[in-house]
Amino acid sequence: MEAAASEADRKPHFGLADKQPEKTVSTAVENKEKGALGEEQMAGSASKQPKYIAVVPSEPVSTDINLDKIDPNLVSVVNPESLETEIFKVLRGKILFPASGKPPRSIMVTSAVPGEGKSFVAANLAVNMAQNIEDHVLLMDCDLRRPTIHKMFGLGRVKGLSEHLANGNKITDLLIKTGLGELSLLASGTPPHNPSEILSSAKMASLLDEFKTRYQDRYLIIESPPPMLAPETTAIAKQVDAVIVVIKFGSTPLDAVEELIDNLGKDLSLIHI
């Protein structure tokens, strides 16, 4: 899971997939120059564990993003008229106006193998949605091993999700208001020694449930590492409405993609863009 830069440097081209009610919605994104697609699952055993309560603020706090330091790969900001940005607009439309009639409110972005461009897709999709709809969008970085999202927004190391899960820091002290439409950012924070355990915990499940149920006027976009390297991604996928799998066209092993989709299973259909 190397290279913050190499992940962001991939500029995907897209396709999308739907998830059935009560099951893992899958969104597929393919690349125009490379390709992108992602998906995951989650071990939902939180019901048998102590209930944790996460207090999620109605408005994010912290400092705004310095636009001068934004990564050039955040094309939805630095090059809003580019072909890549237009493709993200198409993807946004597929998400907001699905065939089922009900758009997914929580979306996870992952990949079958590292370096496919999931950070590029997650960040640009979040920006594109936040700048073009009235609802709030929260971008959450769940790659606690090799986080990238904060760098794309021109940030240095900042506290985030790991501090909340491991140390109990308040979410109100960790959310970053980007100044890009209605977009807030929850960075990964300091890499912990046990990322799989804390991301698969009841506390994480409660946090996701809090965002999904208490704030139904928001969209939640989660970046998570490939499940073959990070089993917690499988756990997270079971708690979201949709999954985007990022695939590098002509490079990603087909068997890796098939294994990922088999793990999600359950009535997966693709709509290519």
CA distances to 28, 95, 132, 136, 223 from 99, rounded to whole Å, are 15, 9, 20, 23, 24
DSSP state of 163: I
Give counts: helices (H), strands (E), the chain.
Answer: 10, 9
Q: Terminus-to-terminus CA distance in the chain, angstroms?
A: 27
143/150 Cα distance (integer angstroms): 11
Mark the ranges of the chain whose per-residue pLDDT is less than 50.
1-63, 268-273
186-243 pLDDT, tens digit per residue, is: 999 999 999 999 999 999 999 999 888 877 778 999 999 888 778 888 888 888 888 8
Q: How far is CA 267 from CA 20, 51, 209, 213, 262, in A?
A: 7, 31, 24, 25, 10
Q: What pLDDT is stored for residue 265 in this prediction?
A: 57
Please, what is the angle between helix 83-96 and helix 118-130, to 10°? 70
Nearest-5° Cα angle at 252, 248 to 258: 120
Q: Which pair of structure tokens corresponds to residue 19?
A: 């998830």
For 48, the token pair is 């048998």
Cα distance between residue 124 and residue 256, in whole Å: 25
Largest interatomic CA distance in the chain:
49
Structure confidence at residue 64 (pLDDT): 61
pTM recorded for the entire structure: 0.76
* Tokens linked to 173: 């002290």
Percent of the chain past pLDDT 70, that is, above it, reads 73
